[in-house]
């Protein structure tokens, strides 16, 4: 496990591109997005005897100030990593062992990983092989005391679209209703243009409108401005905006790294929803990513349990209709380097905070009645 002195973002990113399944959330740009939130990037590689890099991990470390313990403790997270050939059992063992040792060395409460490695594909796990890389990893983690995390930062499952076929073949894989809605949007006058940096406030405004309509929570504008500008300026992201006439009605942002692209943010207004702009947006995003050299388009997110009761079911059916297939991964796993503090941090403190919030609300209600 060898620390890397990163002088330029491309120094680190070129290492990642040489490894299997290079992921956007392991890039230097992502570490710089998280740095203002208190996460320090710690890049490491593993080499073979010939000096060739076989694995890499961009560890994000966040110092904690707990009463009586100062700021000596920390949490560590490797988003969508580490990166390596998960079929290489000896390499997997070496990387996991080294990461555990590093967590102890750094006095970490816990280390979290959520690598993008396949447990299986499709909705059901009935036919999954115990020898799939993801299932073998789960077995290895459990045997070393790792725990399935209560804090699943990223989606465990997702929908992938193969961009290696012709456009005609990609359209043929879609559901008939999806193809119909793409053509319907075109007939109703929906056009797609690439966005500019000055369009980002508009995209955020539409994103806020989407969050209110669909009932999900978003961060404030400075966070998205930092994410979107960082990757667009690095030529690793593009925004697409759907318009009727000259009026923006929907948008999305796609990110690219290595041979893969990701759809991370989508937004729409309540205007002209009958024109189905999101279908045409996704088709143009697929065409753009394919022309830029991406082989896989990750639609970023699918239900944990594939039932109609899952809140993501409607979004999932939309993604599946685009011709995608489901990839299931092991999800996030925690190594509790300090088990007692890990239990305190993940179980006791959240319960105490919940009680304090409840008491605060009760006090506010009493004071309101008195006033």
Confidence of residue 126 (pLDDT cuts 50, 70, 90): low
Q: Does residue 32 register a pLDDT over 90?
A: yes
pLDDT at site 352: 52
Contact assessment for residue 48 and residue 64, using Cβ atoms and an 8 Å cutoff: no
pLDDT at site 268: 94
Write out the two tokens for 359: 């008491």
Confidence of residue 242 (pLDDT cuts 50, 70, 90): very high
Determine which helix (DSSP H) or strand (DSSP E) holds 157, and give its type and residue range. Answer: strand 157-162
Arithmetic mean of pLDDT, 165-181 = 96
Fold of 164-294: Aminopeptidase (3.40.630)
**Side by side, which strands form the sheet with 296-298?**
120-121, 325-328, 157-162, 296-298, 260-268, 247-257, 237-244, 190-194
Helix spans in the chain (H): 9-17, 28-34, 89-105, 133-143, 167-173, 176-187, 200-214, 221-233, 277-291, 313-321, 339-343, 349-370
pLDDT at site 347: 77
Q: Give the C-alpha separation, 300 to 254, whole Å.
A: 11
**Of 24-28, 296-300, 341-345, the least confident:** 341-345
Write out the two tokens for 365: 């209600």
| Residue 45 bridge partners (DSSP) | 2, 56
Q: Give the C-alpha separation, 287 to 243, whole Å.
A: 18
Task: Please give the mean pLDDT across all residues of the chain.
Answer: 90
DSSP state of 197: G
Q: Does residue 208 register a pLDDT over 90?
A: yes
pLDDT at site 350: 59
pLDDT at site 345: 82
Q: In terms of Cα–Cα distance, which of 299, 296, 303 is closest to 328? A: 303
Q: Does residue 346 register a pLDDT over 90?
A: no
Contact assessment for residue 268 and residue 279, using Cβ atoms and an 8 Å cutoff: no
pLDDT at site 358: 56
Q: Does residue 66 register a pLDDT over 90?
A: no
Q: Give the C-alpha separation, 165 to 167, whole Å.
A: 6
**Of 119-128, 235-244, 272-281, the least confident:** 119-128
Arithmetic mean of pLDDT, 111-137 = 88
- For the chain, where do the domains classified as CATH 3.40.630.30 start and end? 2-152+332-337, 164-294
**Of 45-59, 84-98, 356-370, the least confident:** 356-370
Residue 2's alpha-carbon distances to 13, 60, 266, in angstroms, are 16, 16, 38
SS3 state at 127: coil
pLDDT at site 67: 61
Q: What is the pLDDT of residues 133-163, one digit of tens each?
A: 999 999 999 999 999 999 999 999 999 999 9
Q: Does residue 201 register a pLDDT over 90?
A: yes
Strand 120-121 relative to strand 108-113, pairing: unpaired
pLDDT at site 156: 93
Confidence of residue 89 (pLDDT cuts 50, 70, 90): very high
pTM of the entire predicted model: 0.89
pLDDT at site 291: 96
Q: Does residue 364 register a pLDDT over 50?
A: no
CATH no. of 2-152+332-337: 3.40.630.30
Beta-carbon-side half-sphere exposure of residue 182 (alpha carbons within 13 Å): 19
- What phi and psi values does residue 4 have, to the nearest 5 degrees? -110, 130
- What phi and psi values does residue 56 have, to the nearest 5 degrees? -150, 150
DSSP state of 117: -
**Burial of residue 225 (number of CB atoms within 10 Å: 0-12, 13-18, 19+):** middle
Q: What is the pLDDT of residues 243-285, one digit of tens each?
A: 999 899 999 999 999 999 999 999 999 889 899 999 999 999 9
pLDDT at site 344: 85
Q: pLDDT higher for 126 or 64?
A: 64
pLDDT at site 354: 57
Q: Give the C-alpha separation, 131 to 126, whole Å.
A: 14
Give CA 118 to chain center in angstroms. 15
């Amino acid at each position: 496990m060898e620390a890397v002195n990163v002088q330029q973002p491309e120094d680190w990113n070129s290492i990642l591109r040489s490894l299997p399944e290079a992921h956007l959330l392991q890039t230097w740009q992502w570490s710089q997005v998280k740095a203002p939130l208190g996460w320090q990037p710690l890049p490491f590689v593993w080499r073979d005897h010939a000096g060739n890099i076989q694995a890499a991990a961009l560890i994000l470390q966040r110092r904690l100030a707990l009463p009586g313990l100062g700021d000596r403790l920390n949490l560590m997270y490797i988003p969508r990593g580490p990166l390596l050939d998960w079929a290489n059992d000896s390499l997997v063992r070496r990387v996991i062992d080294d990461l555990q040792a590093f967590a102890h060395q750094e006095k970490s409460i816990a280390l979290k990983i959520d690598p993008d490695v396949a447990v299986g594909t499709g909705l059901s796990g009935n036919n999954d092989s115990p020898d799939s890389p993801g299932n073998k990893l789960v077995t290895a983690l459990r045997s070393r005391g790792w725990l399935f995390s209560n804090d699943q930062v990223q989606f465990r499952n997702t929908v992938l679209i193969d961009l290696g076929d012709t456009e005609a073949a990609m359209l043929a894989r879609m559901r008939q209703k999806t193809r119909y809605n793409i053509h319907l949007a075109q007939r109703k006058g929906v056009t797609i243009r690439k966005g500019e940096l000055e369009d980002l406030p508009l995209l955020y405004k539409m994103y806020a409108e989407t969050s209110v309509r669909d009932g999900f929570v978003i961060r404030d504008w400075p966070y998205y401005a930092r994410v979107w500008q960082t990757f667009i300026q690095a030529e690793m992201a593009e925004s697409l905006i759907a318009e009727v006439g000259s009026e923006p009605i929907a948008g999305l942002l796609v990110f690219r790294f290595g041979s893969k692209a990701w759809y991370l943010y989508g937004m729409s207004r309540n205007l002209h929803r009958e024109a189905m702009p999101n279908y045409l947006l996704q088709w143009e995003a697929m065409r753009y990513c394919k022309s830029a050299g991406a082989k896989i388009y990750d639609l970023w997110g699918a239900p944990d349990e594939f039932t109609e009761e899952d809140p993501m079911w409607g979004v999932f059916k939309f993604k599946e209709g685009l011709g995608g297939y489901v990839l299931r991964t092991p999800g996030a796993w925690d190594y509790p380097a300090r088990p007692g503090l890990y239990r305190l941090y993940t179980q006791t403190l959240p319960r105490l905070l919940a009680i304090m919030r409840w008491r605060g609300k009760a006090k506010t209600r009493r004071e309101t009645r008195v006033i």
